Amino acid sequence: MIMKKRQLFITLAIIAVFAVSSALAKMLESAPPHLSTKQQRLNKIQARVNTLDKKLNLSEPQKKQITEILSRVKDKAVEILEDASQRISQIKESGEAEIEKTLTKEQQDKFNNVYEKEGEDEDIVKVLKSSY
């Protein structure tokens, strides 16, 4: 009885993670497209520095320092998102393996097809990274 409750809880938790990540991905897809290459990120940083310059009348050394700071911060944010992506993938795989153990062979085949059709290859973290 306790084992079935545990399996049910784990299954519901995994479904919730998938539902939230799918909903977030759809929400982000409807947002304006974001730039993702290093050069495009630098262009965004430069635009931000220009905005700050207009409001604060920055000196050239300040603009250079702020550009370096923003670039470093964005690079760190991308690293964190990549790490999170790996962790989320591990959690999903572990959860899927646990779910498969509770299913018959026929159900396992259908279960695997469901995840392939839902586009699990589209990683939510890739979408989030594109904004950095």
pLDDT surpassing 60 at residue 130: no
Confidence band, pLDDT 50/70/90 cuts, at residue 3: low
Mean pLDDT of 43-65: 95
Question: What's at 53, amino acid-wise?
Answer: D
Q: Which residue has the higher pLDDT, 11 or 126?
A: 11
| Whole-prediction pTM | 0.51
3-state secondary structure of 128: helix
Residues in the chain: 132
Q: How far apart are the first and last CA of the chain?
A: 47
